[in-house]
């Protein structure tokens, strides 16, 4: 069976832990837009160095908030023991387990 063709994501949202120059450079090289907030210490270091270090890293607050919502939803899904442990051998069975957990989560709200 042939693998699906690899695709490049249009946009990536990351945590402050992934805000290194190396990660940002990699994403720029691959033409992937990103929303990764800059930690205060990195911002202070960049401003201290002045013009030599370049412009500040852009960060879209609305996209970052949406990322947080997705993370919280995944955590709620993992409250289901079957999703968290992933005992299912087949991908389609695990997909069904996640679907059932999502329906249960939606009905609770």
Positions of the chain with pLDDT lower than 50, given as ranges: none
pTM recorded for the entire structure: 0.55
pLDDT of residue 53: 60
pLDDT of residue 87: 81
Q: Give the domain ranges of the chain.
A: 9-59
pLDDT of residue 83: 84
pLDDT of residue 42: 76
For residue 36, with 0-12 CB atoms within 10 Å meaning exposed, 13-18 middle and 19 or more buried, which class applies? buried
Indicate the angle between helix axes 91-108 and 61-77, nearest 10 degrees. Answer: 100
């Amino acid at each position: 069976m042939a693998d699906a063709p690899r695709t490049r994501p249009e946009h990536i949202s990351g945590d402050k832990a992934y805000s290194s120059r190396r990660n940002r450079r990699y994403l720029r090289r691959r033409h992937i837009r990103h929303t990764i907030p800059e930690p205060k210490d990195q911002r202070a270091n960049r401003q201290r160095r002045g013009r030599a270090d370049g412009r500040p890293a852009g960060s879209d607050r609305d996209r970052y908030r949406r990322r947080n919502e997705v993370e919280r939803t995944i955590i709620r899904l993992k409250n289901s023991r079957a999703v968290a442990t992933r005992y299912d051998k087949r991908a389609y069975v695990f997909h069904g387990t996640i679907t059932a957990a999502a329906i249960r989560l939606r009905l609770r709200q």
